[in-house]
Structure 1
Amino acid sequence: MRDIIRFAWGKSSLGDVLVAVSTKGLVAFEFANQRPAMEAALHARFPDAEIVSDASGLAELIGAMAQLVEHPSLTPDIPLDLRGTPYEINVWQMLRDIAMGETTHYGALAALLGTRDARDVTKAIANNPIAILVPCHRVLRKDGSISGYRWGVYRKKALLQREKEAVARYATARQVAEHSVRTAA
C-alpha cells in the first residue's frame, strides 16, 4: 500500500509553516518562505508517497502548532513519525530530552554519542524536519553563541527568548504560590 502524506500551510508569528502528517504522526513542521520550493522538497523527501494537500483536515493541527510557536510551554500530545537514518533519529531523540529553557552544544551531544567530532551531529540536526517538537533550536555553539538554524537564526533567537520568558513566568508563578501557602499557614 502506498504511503500517504497529507500536508497543509498555516501562519505563525514567525512566518508561514508547513505541516505534514502520515498515518502514524507528524513527519514535518517547518517554517517556510517559499511554498513551491517547500512542496517540491516534500515530494523529494517522500518520492514513493502520495502527497495530498489537506488544509481542512489539518486545520486543527495547524492551529495547535501555531499556538506552540507562540507559547513554547505548551506540550501538545502530537504523535511524531520520525523518518531519517538511525543515527539521525537517535540525535533527534536526544534533542527531545533537552528541557525547555535549557540549551546544550553540538560537542556535548557528540560526546554523549561517544565521539569528539560534532560534524555528524551537526548534519543530523540540520536534517531535522520537525521544528520545536524536536527542539534543535536549543543547540548552540560551545561558547553559547547562536549558530545557524535551518529556518533562520532570527527564528532560533525568537524561540529561545520565548522559552526563557515562559520559564521565568513559571518560576514567578511558583514563587507566588509557595509564598501564598506559607502565609496562609
Structure 2
Amino acid sequence: MTSIKVYKTTYTTPIGQLSLVATDKALIGAWFLGQKYYEAKLEDADVKQSTNPILAKAVSWLDAYFVGSSLPSKPALSSIGTPFQQKVWQVLATIPQGSVMTYGEIADCLGCQSAQAVGGAVGRNPLSIFIPCHRVISSTGELTGYAGGLDKKIWLLEHEGVSLKNSLS
C-alpha cells in the first residue's frame, strides 16, 4: 500500500503551537501540540516538513482569525473519520463564530440518542479551530472536554466574544 504524501508546518498561536497537515488538495489536520489524538491517522503518511498552497491558505485564515479581522475563505478541508464522526463534524462546521451548541443539541440534530457518543466524535475532530469543536458545551453550560485543553477552549470562546460568565453559568 502506498503512503499518502502530506505537508506539515507548525503555526504559532497566542495559545500554543498548532501542527498543520495538508495534502495537495486539502487541510487534513490542525492539532495543538500534545493534544489528545495528536496527528491521529498519519501513521502511514509520508510527512514532509514543508509548506504548500493549502497550508499557506490555512495560515492566512489563522492569521485573520487570531487578529480578529474578517475571515477569508477556509482552505479545502478533509477529515478522516467514521461516518458518524463525519456527521458530527459537519454539524460543528455550522456553529457560527461567537455561538455555542450543546452535545445534546448536536445529538438531536443527528437523531442520535447519545450526547456521549457525540462527545466522543467531537473530541476526535482532527481540524481544531477550522471545525470549531471548542464551541460545544454541556447541557448545563459547563465547559467540558477539549482535546487541546480547557484553557485553550476558554481562550477561543472569549476571543470569539462568548460571554462565559453569563451564558455558561
TM-score by length of 1: 0.76
Q: Which has the larger radius of gyration?
A: 1
Correspondences of 1:1-185 after superposition (within 5 Å): 2-33=3-34, 41-42=38-39, 45-54=41-50, 58=55, 61-71=58-68, 74-164=71-161
SS for the counterpart of 2:85 is helix
Is the partner of 1:11 in helix, strand or coil? strand
Distance 2:57 2:103 in 1: 34
Q: In the alignment, is the contact (CA less than 8 A) between 1:69 and 1:159 conserved in 2?
A: no
Q: Contact 1:110–1:121 at 8 Å: present in 2 too?
A: yes
Please give the per-residue CA displacement for 1:78-118, whole angstroms capped at 9, x wherever unaligned. Answer: 11012111111111010011111111111111112213311
Say whether the 8 Å CA contact 2:41–2:80 is kept in structure 1.
no
- Assess if the C-alpha contact under 8 Å between 1:72 and 1:163 holds in 2: no
Structure 2: gaps spanning 5 or more residues: 163-169
Letter in 1 for 2:96: A
Q: Aligned-pair distance for 1:74?
A: 1.9
Letter aligned with residue 8 of structure 2: F
Question: What percentage of aligned pairs have identical amino acids?
Answer: 29
**Which portions of structure 1, spanning 4 or more consecutive aligned residues, are displaced by more than 6 angstroms?**
none
The CA RMSD over aligned residues, in Å, is 2.5
TM-score computed with the length of structure 2 as normaliser: 0.82
In the alignment, the residues of structure 2 paired with residue 59 and residue 93 of structure 1 have an alpha-carbon distance, to the nearest angstrom, of 23
Cα 1:125–1:117 shift into 2, 3 Å = same
Deviation at 1:75, TM superposition (A): 4.2
Task: Indicate if the aligned counterparts of 1:15 and 1:33 stay in contact, CA closer than 8 A.
Answer: no
Letter matched to residue 141 of structure 1: S
Count the aligned residue pairs: 160
Any stretches of 5+ residues in structure 1 without a counterpart? 166-185
Higher helix share: 1
More moved, 9-18 vs 71-80: 71-80
Q: Is the 8 A contact 2:58 2:74 kept in 1?
A: no
Which residue identity lines up with residue 49 of structure 1 in the other structure? Answer: A
